[in-house]
Amino acid sequence: MSLPSHGANASALYKAMGITMPQEVIDVSENVNVDGFPEKIKEHWPSLLSKLATYPDEQAEPFYTDIADFHKVSKSHVVVTNGAAEGLMVLAQFFRGKDIGLLEPSFSEYKRTLQQQNCTIHSIVAEDIVHYYFDEQALNELLLRVSAIYICNPNNPTGVLLKREWIEGLIQKYPHCDFVVDEAFIDWTDEAESVVALTNTYTNLFVLRSMTKMFGLAGVRLGYVIGKQAEKLRCFLPHWNVSNIAIELGSICLQEQQFIKESREKSEHLRVEMSVVLEELGCTVSNSSANFLLFKLPNGLNSAAFFSHLLRRGIVLRHTKNYVGLDGQWFRIAVKNEEIWAKCQEEIINYVENH
Size of the chain in residues = 355
Q: Decide if 263 is inside a domain.
A: yes
State the pairing for strand pair 315-316/330-334.
unpaired
pTM value is 0.96
State which of 209, 226, 255 marks the end of a domain: 255
DSSP-assigned states of every residue in 212-256: HHHHT-TTT--EEEESTTGGGGGGGSPTT-S-HHHHHHHHHHHT-
Asked if residue 129 and residue 95 are part of one domain, the reply reads yes
Asked if residue 170 and residue 87 are part of one domain, the reply reads yes
Return d(Cα 222, Cα 58) in angstroms, integer. Answer: 14
DSSP, collapsed to helix, strand or coil, labels residue 121 as strand
Q: Decide if 3 is inside a domain.
A: no
Residue 269 φ/ψ region, left for φ over 0, alpha for ψ in the -120 to 50 degree band, beta for the rest: alpha
Q: How far is CA 2 from the centre of its chain?
A: 22
* 193 neighbors 153 (Cβ within 8 angstroms): yes
Asked if residue 333 and residue 289 are part of one domain, the reply reads yes
Q: Which ranges constitute the DSSP H helices of the chain?
A: 10-17, 39-48, 63-71, 83-94, 108-116, 136-145, 164-173, 212-215, 244-254, 257-280, 303-312, 338-354
CATH of the domain at 53: 3.40.640.10
Asked if residue 25 and residue 78 are part of one domain, the reply reads no
Q: Decide if 84 is inside a domain.
A: yes
State the pairing for strand pair 223-226/284-285.
unpaired
CATH of the domain at 315: 3.90.1150.10
Asked if residue 245 and residue 171 are part of one domain, the reply reads yes
Asked if residue 17 and residue 141 are part of one domain, the reply reads no
Range of the domain at 321: 10-30+258-354
Q: Decide if 1 is inside a domain.
A: no
Q: Decide if 82 is inside a domain.
A: yes
Asked if residue 50 and residue 25 are part of one domain, the reply reads no
Q: Decide if 2 is inside a domain.
A: no
pLDDT of residue 299: 86
Domain count, the chain: 2
Asked if residue 313 and residue 232 are part of one domain, the reply reads no
Asked if residue 300 and residue 230 are part of one domain, the reply reads no
Asked if residue 287 and residue 233 are part of one domain, the reply reads no
State which of 204, 234, 255 marks the end of a domain: 255
Asked if residue 155 and residue 122 are part of one domain, the reply reads yes
Pick the closest to residue 253 from 33, 94, 102 (CA basis).
Answer: 33
Question: Which pLDDT tens digits describe the chain residue by residue (355 residues)?
Answer: 577 676 668 889 999 999 999 999 999 999 999 999 999 999 999 999 988 999 999 999 999 999 999 999 999 999 999 999 999 999 999 999 999 999 999 999 999 999 999 999 999 999 999 999 999 999 999 999 999 999 999 999 999 999 999 999 999 999 999 999 999 999 999 999 999 999 999 999 999 999 999 999 999 999 999 999 999 999 999 999 999 999 999 999 999 999 999 999 999 999 999 999 999 999 999 999 999 999 999 988 999 999 999 999 999 999 999 899 998 999 999 999 999 999 999 999 999 999 8
Asked if residue 299 and residue 231 are part of one domain, the reply reads no
pLDDT of residue 322: 87
State which of 207, 234, 255 marks the end of a domain: 255
Q: Decide if 302 is inside a domain.
A: yes
Q: Decide if 174 is inside a domain.
A: yes
pLDDT of residue 30: 93
